[in-house]
Amino acid sequence: MVKDEVGDWREGRRRSAREAIVEAAWAAVRGEGLAGLTMRDLARRAGVTPPTLYAYFESKHDIYDAMFGQAAAEFTAVITAPYPTDDPREILITGARRFVEFCATDPPRYQLLFQRTIPGFEPSPESYAPAVEALASSHRRLALNGVTAPRHQDMWTALVTGLVDQQISNDPGGERWTRLVEEMVDMFLAHCAPAPRSTTRKASPRQKGTRS
């Protein structure tokens, strides 16, 4: 599995250069918008000239794909990180909070990952796989709370993406909607969970384990 030393070294150099370009690309889209990425601007930010970019990427779409893959990996890492509790409700809340904050803190990343607004761009299957896994993990956390109906899974995705959507559109950088996660979860569980638990209206700590 070990290549010769020079090969490894070159491979490492190449990868770090790619990563530097991708990093510059993220800075670019955060400043100019996702669709506003241009090879000229990216080259300038990366400290090279446009043709050099084509030594590392085949096309502009190839750069978007690398960004997509990186973002998808970050997303998976955030969502699948250990949950510091065994309480199903707490797990669901934590998962939702992670999702909403991950999306709301970086709108271009959200736009690239979950909204398809780049004309002609489709992520490669390798890049796309983590996102699918993350959705499945979301369904697992719902199942922990007794929510398994596809209809309710759809309501759940609408609920959390609605929070993200409003936060990004109407209060960028703030927390006007992100802070509503816990109350939304309680509302959702009160309606969709099979054995209704006692819930208090406000965000006060409550006793755990009333459900099982």
Look up residue 19 and give its two tokens: 């990563």
Which residues are CB-neighbours of 46 under 8 A, at least 6 positions away?
20, 21, 24, 53
Q: Where are the alpha helices (DSSP H) in 47-124?
A: 50-56, 60-80, 88-104, 107-114
For residue 35, state whether it binds its own copies (rule: CB under 8 A).
Answer: yes
Closest approach, Cβ 52 to DNA, in A, equals 4
Window of 8-16, 67-75, 76-84, 130-138 that interacts with DNA by CB under 7 A: 8-16
- The distance in angstroms from the start CA to the end CA of the chain is 49
For residue 61, state whether it binds DNA (rule: CB under 7 A).
Answer: yes
For residue 15, state whether it binds DNA (rule: CB under 7 A).
Answer: no
Alpha carbon distance 83, 147 (integer Å): 19
Window of 46-54, 135-143, 161-169, 183-191 that interacts with DNA by CB under 7 A: 46-54
With 0-12 CB in 10 A as exposed, 13-18 as middle and 19+ as buried, what is 89?
Answer: buried
Closest approach, Cβ 108 to DNA, in A, equals 15
Closest approach, Cβ 10 to DNA, in A, equals 5
The nearer residue to its own copies, 21 or 184, going by C-beta atoms, is: 184
Look up residue 167 and give its two tokens: 């936060």
* Interaction residues for its own copies, span 92-121 (CB under 8 A): 114-117, 119
For residue 55, state whether it binds DNA (rule: CB under 7 A).
Answer: yes
Q: Where are the alpha helices (DSSP H) in 145-197?
A: 150-170, 181-192
Percent helix, strand, coil in the chain, to 5, is 70, 0, 30
The nearer residue to DNA, 37 or 91, going by C-beta atoms, is: 37
Q: Pick from 3, 10, 30, 206 the residue near DNA by CB under 7 A.
A: 10
Window of 47-55, 132-140, 158-166, 175-183 that interacts with DNA by CB under 7 A: 47-55
Given a contact cutoff of 8 angstroms between Cβ atoms, the answer to whether 137 and 143 are in contact is: no
For residue 33, state whether it binds its own copies (rule: CB under 8 A).
Answer: yes
Given a contact cutoff of 8 angstroms between Cβ atoms, the answer to whether 36 and 45 are in contact is: no
Closest approach, Cβ 145 to DNA, in A, equals 45
Name the residues that contact its own copies, by CB under 8 A. Answer: 33, 35-36, 114-117, 119, 151, 154-155, 157-163, 165-166, 169, 176-177, 180, 183-184, 186-188, 190-192, 208
